[in-house]
């Protein structure tokens, strides 16, 4: 595997690589290939006087699949610092000439979306999706190291969690069901059995406006924790975010640099993150002449301005109850606000986590359901949870793609996922 070669333990050894011709240049008697094998990318050199099929090899098309045997050499000038001197090359399949993505050209978004199945092979996608895989792995590590169990909830659901306007409706044997927006309500039922739980699962939102940070199908990292209040919740969130950023910074220094992200920054992140209350956020914005009133939700534009005040992710807490879903716990000291918190990433990225304490009092929750015009009957099962051993509990939801977008300093959320589902069209 190329990744093993790049670690430096195979220098001067013979290796076999099965992969694809990522790029190629030739000078008549010597041909330089860039080879990709799923684990990494490396330069391989073939010489006319050493290879019996040199002429065929020299004419090979990009993306042809090949098998090579060769010797690993240290080579400072090659990307990654190593190259392979090819001793033997077998062609597995010669790719057609018309591969749509010739390297080093620029392609427009529409073309990329239509040819996504082939665009996955680009260096950018290879690197981002490799980092994505590692981010998921590290998230799971953190949860398991911290005593959480992994729990799955249904994708078909009967009611809204995050508000009706972004629900995807499906026909479920003649009655209405929806695609889940969040596992939360089910998770709240499960903590009474399992204790601290987490999931990494898709959530669906029929987003009505086109933005850089909304998908209609995204991966949601969610946690639900019994016997946990807002302060402890924020500690869990910042611990998870720092853990993952530290690991990714350590593992992908060079790739992150190519994306414009300094790995030192990620490695240096440590708790605690700054905390401001919603009220202070509004004051900061008003002092900057932003036209916003107490009670308005923070949109992408407002969040962007707030992020200029911070170098690290930061929490905005205690949102007024009017802009948060019915299940948020009312602050007993100030009944106009909820014990809620969003975590915002700096550099204009904005919200990556939504979280808070859940209302655990039966009467207050029932009143909130009614106030929001929801059906008490439909939420009976959810209200039940406040009747049988109710406890203070909290949870959070982190958008995996938002997190990766910020870590890798990407401009658009579609760059963080293989086959993005965006407002409008599904290409395939
Ligand atoms: P926003 O105001 O940015 O739409 P939200 O308040 O709807 O976010 P929550 O309901 O709190 O978000 O969801 C938890 C997290 O899920 C968010 O912090 C974000 O990281 C992520 N998220 C929400 N909606 C989307 C989406 N459409 N695409 C990608 N990630 C999303
Ligand atoms: Mn939203």
Q: Whose CA is nearest to atom 22 of ligand 1?
A: 399
Q: Which pTM does this prediction carry?
A: 0.96
C-alpha atoms less than 13 angstroms from C-alpha of 101 in its C-beta half-sphere: 25
From residue 322, give the alpha-carbon distance in Å to each of 160, 318, 328: 17, 11, 11
Instruction: Determine the Cα angle at 252 with ends 15 and 418, to 5°.
Output: 90
CATH architecture of 118-416: 2-Layer Sandwich (3.30)
Atom of ligand 1 at shortest range from CA of 343: 18
Mean pLDDT within 174-199: 97
User: In testing the pocket of ligand 1, which one of 354, 398, 403, 410 has its CB within 8 Å of the most ligand atoms?
Assistant: 354
For 45-97, how does the pLDDT look when each residue is reduced to its tens digit (9 = 90+)? 999 999 999 999 999 999 999 999 999 999 999 989 999 999 999 999 999 99
Is the pLDDT confidence value at 159 over 80?
Answer: no
Q: At what angle do helices 278-287 and 300-307 cross, to 10 degrees?
A: 80
> Are residues 22 and 41 in contact, defined by beta-carbon separation less than 8 angstroms?
yes
Atom of ligand 1 at shortest range from CA of 355: 11
Q: Where are the domains of the chain?
A: 2-93, 118-416
List, chain by chain if needed, residues with CB within 6 Å of any ligand 1 atom: 162, 205, 207, 214-215, 218, 220, 351-354, 397-399, 401-402
User: In testing the pocket of ligand 1, which one of 132, 203, 240, 344 has its CB within 8 Å of the most ligand atoms?
Assistant: 203
Mean pLDDT within 335-349: 97
Phi/psi of residue 109, nearest 5 degrees: -55, -45
Is the pLDDT confidence value at 296 over 90?
Answer: yes
Q: Which fold has domain 2-93?
A: OB fold (Dihydrolipoamide Acetyltransferase, E2P) (2.40.50)
d(CA 311, ligand 2 centre) in Å: 24
Interatomic CA distance for residues 216 and 413, integer angstroms:
11
Q: Whose CA is nearest to atom 6 of ligand 1?
A: 354
Which ligand has the minimum distance to the alpha carbon of residue 414? 1
Predicted pLDDT at 105: 78
Which ligand has the minimum distance to the alpha carbon of residue 423? 1
Interatomic CA distance for residues 23 and 88, integer angstroms:
18
Predicted pLDDT at 26: 93
């Amino acid at each position: 595997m190329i990744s093993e070669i790049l670690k430096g333990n195979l220098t001067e050894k013979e290796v076999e690589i099965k992969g694809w011709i990522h790029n190629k240049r030739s000078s008549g008697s010597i041909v330089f290939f860039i080879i990709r094998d799923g684990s990494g990318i490396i330069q391989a050199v073939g010489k006319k006087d050493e290879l019996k099929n040199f002429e065929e090899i020299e004419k090979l098309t990009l993306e042809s699949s090949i098998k090579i045997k060769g010797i690993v050499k240290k080579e400072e000038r090659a990307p990654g610092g190593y190259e392979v001197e090819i001793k033997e090359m077998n062609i597995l399949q010669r790719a057609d000439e018309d591969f749509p993505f010739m390297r080093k050209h620029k392609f427009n978004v529409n073309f990329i979306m239509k040819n996504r199945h082939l665009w996955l092979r680009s260096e950018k996608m290879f690197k981002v999706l490799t980092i994505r895989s590692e981010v998921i792995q590290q998230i799971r590590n953190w949860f398991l190291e911290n005593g959480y169990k992994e729990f799955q909830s249904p994708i078909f659901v009967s009611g809204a969690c995050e508000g009706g306007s972004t629900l995807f409706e499906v026909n479920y044997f003649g009655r209405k069901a929806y695609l889940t927006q969040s596992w939360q309500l089910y998770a709240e039922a499960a903590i009474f059995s399992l204790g601290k739980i987490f999931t990494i699962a898709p959530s669906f939102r029929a987003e009505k406006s086109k933005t850089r940070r909304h998908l209609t199908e995204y991966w949601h990292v969610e946690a639900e924790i019994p016997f946990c209040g807002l302060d402890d919740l924020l500690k869990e969130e910042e611990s998870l975010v720092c853990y993952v950023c530290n690991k990714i910074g350590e593992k992908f220094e060079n790739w992150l640099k190519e994306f414009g992200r300094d790995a030192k920054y990620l490695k240096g992140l440590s708790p605690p993150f700054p905390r401001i209350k919603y009220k202070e956020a509004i004051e900061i914005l008003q002092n900057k002449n932003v036209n916003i009133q107490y009670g308005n939700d923070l949109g992408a534009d407002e969040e962007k301005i707030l992020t200029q005040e911070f170098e690290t992710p930061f929490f905005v807490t205690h949102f007024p109850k009017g802009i948060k879903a019915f299940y948020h716990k009312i602050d007993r000291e100030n009944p106009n606000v909820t014990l809620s918190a969003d975590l915002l990433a700096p550099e204009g990225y904005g919200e990556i986590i939504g979280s808070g304490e859940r209302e655990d009092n039966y009467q207050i929750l029932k009143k909130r359901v009614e106030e929001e015009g929801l059906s008490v009957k439909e939420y009976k099962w959810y209200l039940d949870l406040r009747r049988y051993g109710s406890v203070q509990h909290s949870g959070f939801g982190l958008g995996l793609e938002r997190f990766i977008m910020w870590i890798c300093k990407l401009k658009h959320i579609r760059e963080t996922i293989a086959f993005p589902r965006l407002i409008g069209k599904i290409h395939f």
